[in-house]
Amino acid sequence: MDKNEISRIFEEIGVLMELKGENPFKVRAYYNGARIIELMEEDLHQLVEENRLHEIEGIGKALEEKIIELVKTGELEFYRRLKEEFPEGLLELLKIQGLGPKKVRVLYDKLNITSVEELERACLEDKLSNLKGFGEKTTKKILEGIENYKNFSGQYLISTGLAYGNEMVKVLKTNPLIKRVSLAGSIRRHKETIKDIDIIASCDEDNRLAVMDFFTSLEGIKDVKEKGITKSSLRLPMGINVDLRLVGDGEYPNALQHFTGSKEHNTALRQRAKEMGYKVNEYGIFKGDNPQPVKTEEDLYKLLQLDYIPPEIRENNGEIEAAEKGNLPNLIKTSDIKGVMHIHSNYSDGHNTIEELVQKGISLGFKYIGISDHSRSAIYAGGLKEEDIKRQHEEIGILQEKYKDIVILKGIESDILADGSLDYSDEVLESFDYIIGSIHSNFSMDINTMTKRLIKAINNRYLTILGHATGRLLLSRPSYTLDIEAVIEACGKNQVAIEINSNPHRLELDWRMCRFAKERGVFIAIEPDAHRVEGIDDIQYGVGVARKGWLEEANVLNSWETDKVLEFLRKRKSNI
């Protein structure tokens, strides 16, 4: 059993223990264990083999024993018995926005609700209003959550797809019969959500059956849905399907391009090929009946007199025309990022100390790092009072003396209040190097009120970066209603940067609006919104969004050198 599956099981154990009303410290231990395992870079099987699990911070004796059992047997008796205490559908209820383990337990105990269908029926029959902690507004929100759940059912976050997909590709590469292998489909184009994991591989025709035997026998799969010599499909325990297509190595570039998509991009490409006297499909590119040899995707595009089009922008949004004219953007890369500024420490709801965050930044080669804890209105997240800010700034000053190789910036994630003002007085706001403004409450405003609220905040000279601009949570909560184009226009006018929040549940500013922002001269900050050191690595997902939105290094604030960033922060604060 691999680390992704063990992480999922520990997460589910935490949920089930919450449903039981277990000690919160025990519950948190499993949630923390799930995160530690998910982000672990060392080989889990090797740690078990060498009896070194106890060296991993956060893995106590109880978790160690369960990890060993899972690694060695693929099963966990404790988990099996825990699941048997609850109906299977109960876990599904937790996917409804606004329902946590405590509320689900009430619904189960009082109304014997064990499925989404039963919950919807109970809401429509007004059976929840008499329950403590529920009411008319709660019922309405649950019904909205059910509708969102139905819309998003069968979809998964890009982070989930990449975690499992990259692991699958890694394992397939160990098979000597496979010549080339790659992720394909929407996951290769870095769509924010995906339905399945597509993999393309090449091998000799005589070896296809052996490769498929290898693929369908991999550890950690739930079942084999389909098995053939050119395509096989597996289902992983969390429900996502993995499809493997096998082709000859000569067909590999065409198959990879075709199954990467998008459908719209491929249609436009085929039309271009037809006008040039070629025919393109997943088997090759042909002049009449004669196949034209290509060794790579780059060769395929070159044959059609196009610059190579990166997978992320293959959406038929003008990329073919730009490739024809040599005007494709030089897309931003993760290695271009020189620092991050949206990070939470243990002063608010973060897990790590400021020093630990600074050390992580140094290990990543960052030239600057900004600490931006929650502001005072975010009581639920331990928002900073004025005395906390003073203490934090003093600590940052001491750490700056200790760590000369990185600039430590003093920031805050200020709540944008209902009237559009920022948390704290101007005097307090003046003490920060920069301010990220985000909405964390009052999501239900009408489009005009919400838009005016945001534009008022953008007009405030202390606001530097607009955080998670639309408030969406992928697969659970839609954006609040606002005129996003008007908001972007206001940011351009005021030289306020907009964040691409790299948390896989957010991934906004949406890639579809990134080009609009770029054209309006708005700078983008690719930020992790990290609440622990490992979360900083989420910038890879934000970079994927930026690439999909045609962004280049010059468009991304935190790809700039330190002096240029500091000058941008100073000018914005001075309202120059």
- Tracing tokens 């297509």 back to the chain, one arrives at 245
In the chain, residues under CATH classification 1.10.150.110 are 3-152
Question: What is d(CA 409, CA 287) in angstroms, rounded to the nearest whole number?
Answer: 59
CB neighbourhood size of 139 (10 A): 18
Judge whether 411 and 433 are in contact, CB under 8 Å. yes
Q: Per CATH, the architecture of 3-152 is what?
A: Orthogonal Bundle (1.10)
Q: Where in the chain is the domain with CATH 3.30.210.10?
A: 256-328
Which letter does DSSP use for residue 421 in this model?
Answer: P
What is the C-alpha R_g of the chain?
A: 25
Tens-binned pLDDT, residue by residue, of the chain (576 aa): 678 889 889 999 999 999 888 888 889 889 888 888 887 777 888 888 888 888 888 888 889 999 999 988 888 999 999 999 988 888 888 888 778 888 999 999 899 999 888 999 988 888 887 888 888 888 888 988 888 888 777 899 999 999 999 999 999 999 999 999 999 999 999 999 999 999 999 999 999 999 999 999 998 888 999 999 999 999 998 889 999 999 999 999 999 999 999 999 999 999 999 999 999 999 899 998 899 999 999 999 999 999 999 999 999 999 999 999 999 999 999 999 999 999 999 999 998 999 999 999 999 999 999 999 999 999 888 999 999 999 999 999 999 999 999 999 999 999 999 999 999 999 999 999 999 999 999 998 999 999 999 999 999 999 999 999 999 988 878 899 999 999 999 999 999 999 999 999 999 999 999 999 999 999 999 999 999 899 999 999 999 999 999 999 999 999 999 999 999 999 988 875
* Residues in a beta bridge with 374: 413
**Which residues in 355-386 are b (16+ Cβ under 10 Å) and which e?**
bebbbbbeebebbbbbbbbbbbbbeebbbbee
What the block records as the tokens of 474 is: 């992928």
CATH number of 154-249: 3.30.460.10
Judge residue 452's burial from the number of C-beta atoms within 10 Å of its C-beta, 0-12 exposed, 13-18 middle, 19 or more buried: middle
Residue 119 near residue 107 (C-beta atoms within 8 A): yes
Residues of each domain in the chain carrying CATH 3.20.20.140: 334-574
Q: Are 409 and 545 in contact (CB under 8 A)?
A: no
| Residue range(s) of every CATH 3.30.460.10 domain in the chain | 154-249
CATH match of 334-574 with 3.30.700.30: no
Helices (H), 21-155: 24-39, 44-49, 61-73, 77-84, 89-93, 101-111, 116-124, 136-152
Contact assessment for residue 492 and residue 458, using Cβ atoms and an 8 Å cutoff:
no
What pTM value is reported for the model? 0.83
Token pair listed for 517: 């922002």
CA triple 64-68-70, angle to 5 deg: 115
Cα 111 off chain centre by: 35
Residues with Cβ within 8 Å of 129's Cβ and at least 6 positions away in sequence, in order, are 135, 136, 139
Domain 256-328 class, CATH top level: alpha beta
CB-based contact 123:146 (threshold 8 Å): yes
* DSSP code at position 269: H
As given in the structure block, the two tokens for residue 10 are 């520990």
